[in-house]
Amino acid sequence: MEQQPQIQIHRFTWQSIEIETIYNPCRWGVIAHLEIRSIKPERAPLPITETGYRSHFHPCGTMEANGGDVVAHITAWLDEEAATPAWRRYVEASRQGTLF
């Protein structure tokens, strides 16, 4: 019987937001699953999700073929999306607050 890859749970901080990720390298034996959620502050928006939660499926082995470091991959994804004009506008509006 073939052994299933172990689920990985990671916690890390990105731009003062504590994030938890759960990575299943081969869910149901057919697809990899990555869950990302902001936990402190809870449900804080991230550049990849307005709700603070993201579920992402990809082919088994994709993460491992690219070095296998889950936190490094998520951090790079967040950094890339944080450079978009939409996220920069969100950050600026958050700093200033809004009247309406």
> CA 58 to CA 44: how far, in whole Å?
24
In-domain check, residue 61: yes
Q: Nearest CA to 37 among 60, 64, 9, 58?
A: 9
pLDDT value at position 75? 97
pLDDT value at position 98? 57
Q: 14: exposed, middle or buried (C-beta count within 10 Å: 0-12, 13-18, 19+)?
A: middle
Question: How many structural domains compose the chain?
Answer: 1
In-domain check, residue 69: yes
In-domain check, residue 42: yes
In-domain check, residue 2: no
In-domain check, residue 3: no
CB 44 within 8 A of CB 68: no
In-domain check, residue 89: yes
What single string gives the DSSP state of each residue in 10-52? EEEEETTEEEEEEEEEEETTTEEEEEEEEEETBT--BTTBSSS
Residue 79: which domain range?
A: 8-96
Mean pLDDT by groups of 10 residues along the chain of 100 residues: 77 97 92 97 96 96 90 96 93 74
In-domain check, residue 49: yes
pLDDT value at position 34? 96
pTM greater than the 0.95 cutoff: no
